[in-house]
Structure 1
Amino acid sequence: MRNRSGNSGALAGDIMSGHPSPGPLLEPYAPLNVLKPVAPDVWIVDGPEITFAWIGLKLPFSTRMTVIRLDSGGLILHSPVEYSPGLRSALESLGPIRFLVAPNSLHYWCIPEWKAQMPSVPVLAVPGLAERAKRPVFVDQSLMDRQSPWPEEIDLLVVKGDMLTEAVFFHRASRTLILTDLIENFELKRIHSWLFRTLVRLSGAADPDGKAPIDMQLTFFRSGQALRKAVRQMIVWRPERIIIAHGRWYQKDGVKELRRAFRWV
């Protein structure tokens, strides 16, 4: 399946280029725009539903930001959700915002609003994002494979396919693995659109057996060996939990979920 921009996948499309939906097609992970503790120095923020166009259809996606507090006290905003003064204030009660991260070539849409409000905060993004983004995104630093900007606290892998490039983060202290689209795990009971529910089921991205949608899997055909190596490294890290951007994330059994979700590799 392909969207109008030519990127592969209805489920693997230009996710962050959507717009707020007039009515929720997905049951939200309420409360929205609220910090939710995950582990020491790790939080998530579930944001509003967005949609993107595909052959005249509007398909819904939930949004989720991960927040990491470094030993220095500064915050990393991973895949920021929609900007609001209230959310910024809540974040700054934890510590100063030091980094804005576009973790893959699809999740960047809200970065410009955050950057406009805090121009001195650097934007870190996967290689090539500025050139392929559907809106202007100024990138201060590219995320390079195994070259973590925070080597004492966070490990980094960059996984590259024909359609998707994604940075994988592992927060050592909390044993938290942070993915974006390499695993999607939509709960069918939360989907109000029968069409989207059908697409999710057929794509293989439905809970409890969520994984990369089948069309995204196909885009890793030429880079399968590199992806297998990356997955092995994720397993070696032995994460306790896995945060993902879309659907139910995994609060326990991280290694078991990795082996299940990446068995296609």
Structure 2
Amino acid sequence: MARNTMDYPPLNTPKPIATDAWIVDGPIIRFGMPWPKMPFPTRMTLLRLHGGDLFVHSPTPLTAPLRDRIATLGTPRWIVGPNRIHYWWIPEWKAAFPDAGVWLAPRIREQAGARIDFAAHRLDAETGYPWDGAISTLPVAGSFMTEVEFFHHPSRTLVLTDFIENFEPGKLGSGWMRWLTRLGGVQDPNGAMPRDMRRTFARQRPQLRAAVERMLAWEPERIVLAHGRWYERDGTAELRRAFGWLLE
């Protein structure tokens, strides 16, 4: 059987992207309507703060080799679910690192049900977190979900989840997937907020624009995305391009 080319090997391996910043590419998942479900590559971000504390954003599966590698980087201190559909592997990280705090975006508990049956903190404010100072926190609320964005000041890395998706045509295995990602406005090199998600911010358009302007003011050097090719350079320009439909 041919290997799925949508993923970004090596998988389950921390890859340095800047000082004290790593990404971990995970497996392909399928998400969407009952049919057809679209395959999505997954990606976690790790940020290291003073003292070796690790900020774990949108966890991917915790394999034994990955856990061993994590031990050489620092200690997971905060495990973060950044929106209501990015929570699936949080329980196994909490089980492996019971002293770590879990921080959940609004509506994750309702979405996850019994899968998350342990204490967790709410992730719905801009300040008041133990990582304040090194990492800025920006919740952006729409009618479907709140996504919480993060900016790691030391490395000038903006960490998004689903606010930009950027699927590479050469990695898509069929013509309908290339057509669907182009129709949805999420095909590389023109990745952006999916058009169906844009509609969920129709009533919050001024707030969304203010959030994007806040992110632009941070002048990110790079932008990590959960799905598809991320932006290793020219982060501010890519952010402005991706949200040109909103800023015009």
Deviations 1:50-99 (A, max 9, x none): 11352333320000000000112111110010121111110111111111
Is residue 104 from structure 1 mapped to residue 83 from structure 2 by the alignment? yes
For 1:144, the equivalent position in structure 2 comes to 124
Runs of 4+ deviating beyond 3 Å: 22-26
Query: Counterparts of 1:120-199 in structure 2 under 5 Å?
Result: 120-133=99-112, 136-137=115-116, 138-147=118-127, 149=129, 150-199=131-180
Deviation at 1:258, TM superposition (A): 1.0
Q: 1:249 aligns with which of 215, 230, 248?
A: 230
Give ranges in structure 2 of 5+ residues lacking alignment.
none
Contact 2:107 2:145 in 1 (8 A): no
For 1:10, the equivalent position in structure 2 comes to none
Tell me, in whole angstroms, the C-alpha distance in 1 between the residues paired with 2:2 and 2:67: 25
Length-normalised TM-score, structure 1? 0.87
For 2:62, the equivalent position in structure 1 comes to 83
Length-normalised TM-score, structure 2? 0.93
Deviation at 1:134, TM superposition (A): 5.5
Secondary structure in structure 2 of the residue aligned to 1:201 = helix
Tell me, in whole angstroms, the C-alpha distance in 2 between the residues paired with 1:178 and 1:220: 20
Secondary structure in structure 1 of the residue aligned to 2:95 = helix
Structure 1 or 2: more helix by fraction: 2
Inter-CA distance 80–61: structure 2 relative to 1 (3 Å threshold): same
Inter-CA distance 183–247: structure 2 relative to 1 (3 Å threshold): same
**Residue identity matched to 1:58:** K
Contact 2:139 2:147 in 1 (8 A): yes
Give ranges in structure 1 of 5+ residues lacking alignment.
1-21
Deviation at 1:164, TM superposition (A): 2.4
- In the comparison of the two structures, how many residue pairs are matched? 244
Percentage of matched positions with identical amino acids: 48
Inter-CA distance 207–65: structure 2 relative to 1 (3 Å threshold): same
Inter-CA distance 230–139: structure 2 relative to 1 (3 Å threshold): farther
Inter-CA distance 254–236: structure 2 relative to 1 (3 Å threshold): same
Secondary structure in structure 2 of the residue aligned to 1:109 = coil
